[in-house]
Amino acid sequence: MPNIDEQQSQNRKMTFTGRGQVSVNPDLAIIRLGVQTTGEDVTAAQSENAKISSQILAALKELGVTDIKTYQYQIEKLYDYENGTKIDRGYSVRNIMEIRTGNMGQVGVIIDTAVYNGANVVDLISFEVSHPDMYYQQALNLAIRNAYQKAKTVSTGLRIMFDPVPILITENSLQPIPYTPTYALREGAYTTPIESGSKQIEASVTVEYVY
């Protein structure tokens, strides 16, 4: 059975939320682009798509880009409606490739090369961090420190003799959201400027202290 001092200690608690943030420069670019063709005959649409896709792959490999895989291959029957009547519009063939590169300065060149060689779909440009866990741990330490500093500040303001001792730490953090800039197909001789910017990795904790 706890004594009076232990019961009083259990009642003397403070709870604070701490936040930490680390700014990181992305070192991995993920690009999803490809070709969409249409036609009345599915075989012809597939053949045209395959020809353009092969041309894009060859051009990208000439740039030294090797981390390429098929992300989506889809054949869809197209219909339209006029006055309630269903009209056959042929087929759509969509072939999307996923390209990964650690050369951040080459992203614009990759996109422009693909577009020049027939790509007419750019689905995604995402900038990531290769090892986010390492930076998340740093943000987590900052969050715990932030909660401790809040506890010290409040105790000083209340003139409480208080050496914060954490008895419960709850992690509240969410995974960072990838930064996905927009890209518009355009004509021109200049390389499309694509800037990765910086990525914020955040952590949040709730800490309960006893005093």
Question: pLDDT, tens digit, for every residue of 93-113?
Answer: 999 999 999 998 899 999 999
Bridge partners (DSSP) of residue 10 are none
Report the sign of the C-alpha dihedral through residues 186, 188, 192, 193, in that order: negative
Token couple for 18: 């701490």
Instruction: State the fold for domain 28-128.
Output: Alpha-Beta Plaits (3.30.70)
> For residue 20, what is the enclosing H or E element?
strand 13-24
CATH class, domain 13-25+132-178+198-210, is alpha beta
Model confidence at 131, in pLDDT bands (50, 70, 90)? confident
Q: What is the pLDDT of residue 79?
A: 85
Q: What is the pLDDT of residue 176?
A: 54
Q: What pTM value is reported for the model? A: 0.69
Q: Give the residue extent of every domain in the chain.
A: 13-25+132-178+198-210, 28-128
Looking at the predicted structure, is the pLDDT value of residue 40 above 60?
yes
**Each residue of 166-201: pLDDT tens digit?**
888 899 866 555 444 544 444 444 566 676 677 888
